Structure 1
Amino acid sequence: MQGGLSSPGALSHAYVQHPPLRCDIPDIKGLFYDDANKFLVAPTADRILYWKIAASTQSGPPNSDPINEGPILSVRFSLDQKAIGIQRSSHEVEFRNRETGEGCSKKCRADSDTILGFFWTDCPTCDVIIIKTSGLDLLVYEPQSNALRLVESKKCSATWYLYTHESRLLLLASGMQCTLFTGYQFSAGGIVKLPKFEMVMSKSEANNKPVLAAADVHIVTVYGRIYCLQLDRVGMALNLYRFYRDAVVQQGTLPVYSSRIAVSAVDNIIMVHQIDAKVVILYDVFMDSYAPISAPLPLLVRGLASNSKQAAQPADQQSSAYGGTLYGEGWNFLIPDLICDAENGLLWKLHLDLEAIAASTSDAPSILEFLQRRKSDLSMVKTLSLAIVRTTILERRPITLVAKAMDIILDSYSRSMKMVGGAAGVRRTSEQNQQSSFQPVEDSRVVSQEPPGTMIGPVINTDSVSGVESRQSQSNSGVEHGIANLAAHVDRSSLNTSSDSDGIANTSRAVSQATSSSLISDATGKRPQFVGEDSQPLASGTSMQHGTHVASVAISPIEMVQSVFVLVEDEMMGDPAYLIAVIMEFLRSLSKAGLKAPPDLYVMMTALLACSNRYAEIALFVSNKILEPSRELAMQLIELGRQHSLTRKLGVDMLRERCLHHDYVAALLQDGYYLEALRYARKYKVITVQPSLFLEEAVAKNSTPNLAAVLSFFAELTPSFKTTSDYSRYRHILSEMV
C-alpha cells in the first residue's frame, strides 16, 4: 500500500519512529490501550496479552494472563496491577484477581440502564468507577473477599463519556446535541465536581442540529494544565477550553482544514492531525498564543531513534517496512502520543523534530524560548540552543537581539537552579501576579487573560522565558558604569544593522500576531464566561512531574563560555569590538540573573580589549570590579603587561589582594624585587617558592650581605634546607665572595 506515504526528503516537524511495536498476533480480539498503566492489551479467546509501553516502542514478547471466555468490550488493569477489569457487555463488567484467579461481576438491569465504560482511580474513597447512562457508581474493590462494595452513586444522565488517566478528568455528555457536559476529577486529592457547561456548535444551513460525537472531543494535558479541544464540523473550527475548579473557559479557536481530525500531545506541544489532508499542525499554548508554531506539514516515518538527522525514507522502503498507509482508516490516536494501527497490529510513537522546527525560523529569541520549554531529547535541546546563539553572534546580528537571546538562556538556568534547590525566591506565575479580578471581553465568551489563583501542584512559570522585565536587577553601579563607558567605544550603528533575515522574522511575528488575533472566536450573543476571584486551575495527575527536567535542559554560564564564546573567538578576532559588546551584554544578563561569570570569560574579554589597545578600559573594569578578580585574570594581566607595564601592575596587585602568596612572590621575583619578595615570604610563611630563585638573584646582584641574608632566611624557614645541594653550593659561593 503506497498511498499516504511521504515523498523522500519531505520537510516535516513531526514523525513516527520505525520500527513500531508489532502486535499482529493471530486470533486476537482487537487492541485496547490501558492509559493508566501504559499497557497495550490484545485479548484472545482465553488469555490477555499485554505489552508495557516505555519511552520507546520496541518489540518484545508480551506478558499474558488467563481469562474466562466471552466477549470483550474493554480491558483495564488496576493501578496496583493486582486485578483486571473486563467489560463483557453493555450490562456487565467482570473483575478478576490476578493472584487467585477468582472473579466477581458488576451488572446493571438490561431494561433500564447501560454501562458505557469503567476505569480504576487513585481516589481515596473508591477504587473503580463505572459509568452508566443514569450516572456513576463509585466502588471499592476488596480482593480478600473478592467482592465489590458500592460507596456512592451519582445520578446524572450521560450519552457518552470521555476520560484520561493523565488528567484524572471525566466528562459526561448529555442533551439533544450532546453538548451539555458534567465533569468530575477523581484524583488522589479527592473528588472535584466541575460546574456544568455547554460546548459551542455552529448551526448548519438547513438549521439542523448536529450531534457532537465522542470522537470530536479530546482531553489533553500540557504544562500541567488541562485542556479540552472540541471539533465543530459545521463551523470547521476547533474550540479550546480550559478547566478551573469553578468554571470551564473557552480560551480560543483553532482552524481546521479537514472534516476529520485527531489530537495528540507531545512534549507539551498540541498536535492537531488533519486526517483528510494528511498533515499535522503544532501549537504551543504556553503563552496562551493560539497561532501555530509551524505551517501544516506531513507526518513522516523515521528509521532510527539515535539518528535524528536521518532523512525520510523513500516511499517504497517505508511501504515495505510499514505495510500500511499514514493516517489510514485503522489508525486510532491514543492520548497523549501514541497511534494504534489496529488493521496492521502496530503501535507508533509520535516525536517532535526539534532540529527541523529550529531551522524553520530566523527568530532566534523565539525559538530559544521554545527549546527551553522542551523536556524530550535533552541533549538535542542543548546542542540546538548553543548552535543558535553561536550563529547569532557569527552573523553579527543586532546587539539587542543577541542580548535577548542571552537573557533567555540565563533566565532559564537561574530559574532551574532555584527549582532544583527549592529556593524560597522562586518567582510566582503570571496567574499569581495578575490582578485579583478582571473584566471579560465585551460580547465575547473568550477570556484571553490568565485568571488569578494558585496552581495546584508545583509552580509553573507562565511568564516569558526571558522574563527580563520582571526580574529584579541585581547589577551594581560599577557594572552599569563600565558598560556605559564601553558603549562609547563601540559603533552601535554598525552593530545594530538588521539583516534581511531580521526583516523576515519581524514580518513573521507580525503575521503570527495577526493570525492569532483572528483565530480568537467572537461568539457574540453568548453569555460571557469568566473565572471567579478565587478560582484555581484544575491540576492534572501529572502536574507534579513538570519542572523535573529543567535543570538538564538549562545551559550554565560555563557551558556558554566553552561552547559559544571560545568557539567564536577566533572567527571574531577581526572585529573584537562586536564580540566585546556581546560579552558585556552577557555579563549584564548574568548580573540580572544573580549568576557569576566563569573566570575564563574575563580572561577572554581582557585579551580582546588588549588587542584593540584599550588598556585604559581594562584598568577601569578592574578597578570597578566589572572584571571579577581571579588567579586566571591576574595571570592574564601580567602576561599582557609585557606590552603595557601598568596592566602588569594590575595583575600583580590582584594576586596580592586575592592572597595568592606563591604567585605574588614569583611575580615580585620576575620584576627583580627579590628582597621585597623575601620579606613577603617571611611574613606569610610562603614555603612553596624555590630558594634557588632568591639565591640566584642575590648572586646576580653580587651582594654578599644579601646572599648571606637569603641563606639565613631559608635555613630558618625550612630547617631541612641545610641538607640540600643548593645550601652547600651557595654557602661555598658566599665564602668565596667574602
Structure 2
Amino acid sequence: MAASDYYLELTANPLRFEAGNQLTNVFFDDSNKQVFSVRSGGVMGVVVKGLNELDKPLNFRMEDRGPVLSIKFSLDLKILAVHRTNSSVEFMNFNGVSLEEEYSQSCKKNHKILGFVWTLENEVAFITDHGVELYKVISDKKSLKQLKTLSHSLQWFVWCPVNKIALLASAHGSQLQPIYFKTGTVGKLSRVESMPCKMALERDITLGTLYGTPAFLILRHQSGPQTAEVHIHELSGPGQAPVKTHILKLGMSGRFAINIVDNLILVHHQASRSSQIFDIALPGESDGIVKYHTAVGPAKSFKPASLTVPGLDDNQMQPCELYSPNWVVFQPNIVIDAKLGCLWHINLCLPNLCSVISDLVTCTRLLLRRSEGKIVLLNVLLMRIRQKEPPLEKIREAFNYINREYRTWLEIVLQNQTASPAHDPIRSKPIANGNIIIVDQIEIFNEIFLKLDEESEINKLEWVLIAYLTSLFEYDIKALQNMNELLVTTLVRRQKFTSLQQLLQYGVIADSKTLACILLSLGNIYEAGTQLALDMLSRLNAEEEIQEILLSQGQILTAMKLSPDKKNLRKFLQAAQDSNDEQIFHTVLYYFKNHPTHNAAFKRDSRLDGFIHYYNSLFQDK
C-alpha cells in the first residue's frame, strides 16, 4: 500500500531501552515521561531514559529489598520513590549520580497501597484500597509529614499528571469517583455518571485534555449486536461535576486503546489492526445534551514500521508488529512495547487524512484546530480550487470559517490598541488563537492567489478573489492593498468592468490612493475609470490628488475651486499656459493679480514674472 493510505505513523527512530525479561522489569513514569529498566530488583543496576535523546541516561544501583512494583522520580528528579510492598514506599535522595540512604513511609494499618503519584515536587499521594493519603516529603530530614487523608473504598485508579486528577474505581468499576489535588490538599468531585449494570475496566479509562478541558474517556462495551462506544465526560470548570457531553460511535467491538493527539481522539482496535480518528469540535447529531460523533474517515492501520537490528555485516531492518498485544499506550502520543524495548511517538499524517474527507468545510474546520494544520489547509484549498469543477460554495464557506477566526483574533489583539480602528489589519504575524490556528491575508495571497496562473487559471483567480474579499468584507476586515490591486487588474484583463464598478460601489474593494492611480491608468481602455478614481479620491478627501488629475485633464478652473488656499500659484498658471487657451490663462492670471492675498506673491516670487511677460505678449495689442 502507498504511504498516502495511512493517517498515522510511528516515529522512525524510537527510544530504545533494555527489553523486559526474566531479569529486567520495565516501568514507565507518566509524569516525567521516563522509562526505567530495573535489573534484578536494582542490584544489577537501574537505567532511566527520558524522551529527549540529548539527555544522558541515568544509571545507579539499589539494594534488592524485594520485587519492584513501581518506581518514579519526584518532579524535580531529586527524590526516587520505590514501591515494593503493599504497605510502604521507600524514598532515596538522588544527587544526579548515586542514591543516598533510604527512608520509608508506611500507609495506615490494614490499608493496601495500590499505587502512588507525585502531585508536586515535594508532595506524594498514596492511593490505597481505603482512599488517599497525601504526604509532604522533607528530603533534608529524610522524613514525610502527612498533609491530608481522604476516605474512599476502591479497587483501582487512573491518574492524569497534567490536570492533577485521579479517577478512583469501586464496585468493580461501576462507580467512578474523580478527585483533584492542589498544594497540600486533595478533594472530591461529583461522581462520573454511571450506566446500570455496566462495569468499567482500568484499561478502558483514559484521562486527558480536550481543547483545554479535562476529560474522562470511558470505553463502554455494548451487549448483543451493538458496537462499542466511547463516552466523554468533561469538567467544564474547577470543582464542577463531570458532565457527559460526547459519545463516539466506534462501529466495532473488541479491545481498544486510546490516544489524544493534538485534540484528536485516536481509537486503536487490536482485532482489526486499525485506528479511527475523532474530533469532538466537528458537528454531530445531538439529543440536546450529548453530541454523537462518527470517525472523520474510514478506519486505517498505522504506516508499516521497521526496527534497525544489528547484523553480522551490516544493520538490518526488521518489520515491527503493529497493534501488538504487548503495546501499552500513554498520553498524549506514546506507544511502548516493553518486550521489544521500544518507545514510539505517534505522528499524524494530516494531508493523508484530508485526502479522504470529501467535504471541504469539514476539512477546513478540522485543520483550523490542528497545530500543524496551516500549510496543509492552504494546500488543500489550492488543490480544490484547481479542480476541473471547483466547489465554489464550499470554498466560500471555508473562507468564512477562516476569516471568522481571523476576526476573533483581531478583536483580541485590538483590545489594547484603542487608537486603531477595529477593521485595520495587524502587521504582526498571527500564529494561533487558543486551539485555533490563524490564517492571515498574506498567507492566503502568497500560497493561493500567487500560485494560480494568471493566464490559464485567470477565471478561477477572479472568482476566488471575489469570494475571499467578500468574506473579509462580511467580517469587517480591511483587505490588504495587494489583494485589491490583484482583483482590479484581473477584472480589467477579463474586461469585467461592470463587476469592477459594482465591487467598488458596494465597498468590497476598499478605497486607496494607489488603487485610484490604477483606475486612472485604465482611462484608455475603460472610460469610466477616471471618474471612479475621482470618486474614490473624493471619499478619501484627497483634494491635492484630485487637483492634479483635473489639471492634467485641462479642467483648471474646477481644480482651482477645490483649492481653498491656492498657495501654489505657479502650478495653476503653468497649467493654464500649457492649455494654449488665452481665455483660460487670462482668467487665472486676472484672478490671482486682483486677489489681495495672492497679489503680493508676484512681488516676492520672481519666477512668476515669466507668466506676466507671457500675458503681455498675448494681450498687448488687444
More helix by share: 1
Deviation at 1:638, TM superposition (A): 0.7
Identity value in percent: 21
Q: In the alignment, is residue 408 of structure 1 matched against residue 401 of structure 2?
A: yes
1:189 and 1:101 map into 2 onto residues whose CA distance is: 26
Q: In the alignment, is residue 151 of structure 1 matched against residue 147 of structure 2?
A: yes
Secondary structure of 1:370's partner? helix
Secondary structure of 1:300's partner? coil
1:563 to 447, 462, 486: 447
Secondary structure of 2:233's partner? strand
Q: Which residue of 2 aligns with 1:479?
A: none
Secondary structure of 1:374's partner? coil
Deviation at 1:340, TM superposition (A): 1.3
1:497-646 → structure 2 map (5 Å cutoff): 547-548=433-434, 550=436, 553-568=437-452, 570=454, 575=459, 579-580=462-463, 582-611=464-493, 613=495, 615=497, 618-646=500-528
More strand by share: 2
Deviation at 1:95, TM superposition (A): 2.1
- Asked if 1 retains the 8 angstrom alpha-carbon contact of 2:20 and 2:341, the reply is no
User: What is the TM-score with the length of structure 1 in the denominator?
Assistant: 0.66
Q: CA RMSD in A?
A: 4.4
2:528 and 2:188 map into 1 onto residues whose CA distance is: 75
Secondary structure of 1:229's partner? strand
2:27 to 32, 36, 54: 32
Q: Which residue of 1 aligns with 2:268?
A: 273
- Asked if 2 retains the 8 angstrom alpha-carbon contact of 1:195 and 1:246, the reply is yes
2:438 and 2:333 map into 1 onto residues whose CA distance is: 25
1:251-650 → structure 2 map (5 Å cutoff): 251-252=246-247, 254-255=249-250, 257=252, 259-287=254-282, 288-301=291-304, 320-321=316-317, 324-375=320-371, 377=372, 381-395=373-387, 396-397=389-390, 399-419=392-412, 547-548=433-434, 550=436, 553-568=437-452, 570=454, 575=459, 579-580=462-463, 582-611=464-493, 613=495, 615=497, 618-650=500-532
Deviation at 1:242, TM superposition (A): 0.3
User: What is the TM-score with the length of structure 2 in the denominator?
Assistant: 0.77
1:220 to 208, 214, 221: 208
The amino acid that maps onto 2:266 is M
Identify unmatched segments of 5+ residues in structure 1: 1-6, 204-210, 304-318, 425-473, 476-545
- In the TM superposition, what whole-angstrom CA distance separates every residue of 1:346-400 from its partner, at most 9, and x where no partner exists? 211001111011111221111101111112x2xxx22232233334444454543
Specify whether residues 358 and 198 from structure 1 end up closer, same or farther in structure 2 by C-alpha distance, changes over 3 A only.
closer
The amino acid that maps onto 2:484 is Y
Secondary structure of 2:277's partner? strand
Identify unmatched segments of 5+ residues in structure 2: 283-290, 307-314, 424-431
Secondary structure of 1:292's partner? coil
1:321 and 1:419 map into 2 onto residues whose CA distance is: 51
Deviation at 1:420, TM superposition (A): 5.0
Specify whether residues 613 and 281 from structure 1 end up closer, same or farther in structure 2 by C-alpha distance, changes over 3 A only.
closer
Secondary structure of 2:84's partner? strand
Specify whether residues 671 and 289 from structure 1 end up closer, same or farther in structure 2 by C-alpha distance, changes over 3 A only.
farther
- Asked if 1 retains the 8 angstrom alpha-carbon contact of 2:174 and 2:197, the reply is no
The amino acid that maps onto 2:11 is Q
Deviation at 1:127, TM superposition (A): 1.8
- In the TM superposition, what whole-angstrom CA distance separates every residue of 1:552-595 from its partner, at most 9, and x where no partner exists? x211234334433444472576648x944x54543443233231
Deviation at 1:273, TM superposition (A): 0.8
The amino acid that maps onto 1:69 is E
Deviation at 1:32, TM superposition (A): 2.7
263-272 or 225-234, larger mean C-alpha shift: 225-234
1:241-260 → structure 2 map (5 Å cutoff): 241-244=232-235, 245-249=240-244, 251-252=246-247, 254-255=249-250, 257=252, 259-260=254-255
Q: Which residue of 2 aligns with 1:232?
A: 221
Deviation at 1:320, TM superposition (A): 4.0
Q: Which residue of 2 aligns with 1:452?
A: none
Deviation at 1:74, TM superposition (A): 1.9
1:95 and 1:374 map into 2 onto residues whose CA distance is: 41
128-137 or 607-616, larger mean C-alpha shift: 607-616
Secondary structure of 2:448's partner? helix
Q: Which residue of 2 aligns with 1:69?
A: 63
Deviation at 1:337, TM superposition (A): 0.7
- Asked if 1 retains the 8 angstrom alpha-carbon contact of 2:516 and 2:534, the reply is yes
* Greater Cα radius of gyration, structure 1 or 2: 2
Specify whether residues 146 and 574 from structure 1 end up closer, same or farther in structure 2 by C-alpha distance, changes over 3 A only.
closer
- Asked if 2 retains the 8 angstrom alpha-carbon contact of 1:669 and 1:694, the reply is no
Specify whether residues 350 and 243 from structure 1 end up closer, same or farther in structure 2 by C-alpha distance, changes over 3 A only.
same
Specify whether residues 591 and 197 from structure 1 end up closer, same or farther in structure 2 by C-alpha distance, changes over 3 A only.
same
- Asked if 2 retains the 8 angstrom alpha-carbon contact of 1:118 and 1:128, the reply is yes
Specify whether residues 655 and 588 from structure 1 end up closer, same or farther in structure 2 by C-alpha distance, changes over 3 A only.
closer
- Asked if 2 retains the 8 angstrom alpha-carbon contact of 1:218 and 1:229, the reply is yes
Specify whether residues 678 and 422 from structure 1 end up closer, same or farther in structure 2 by C-alpha distance, changes over 3 A only.
closer
1:626 and 1:84 map into 2 onto residues whose CA distance is: 65
Q: Which gives a bigger RCO, structure 1 or 2 (Cα 8 Å, sep 6+)?
A: 1
Secondary structure of 1:89's partner? coil
The amino acid that maps onto 1:291 is T
Specify whether residues 20 and 233 from structure 1 end up closer, same or farther in structure 2 by C-alpha distance, changes over 3 A only.
farther
Specify whether residues 547 and 597 from structure 1 end up closer, same or farther in structure 2 by C-alpha distance, changes over 3 A only.
closer
Q: Which residue of 2 aligns with 1:20?
A: 14
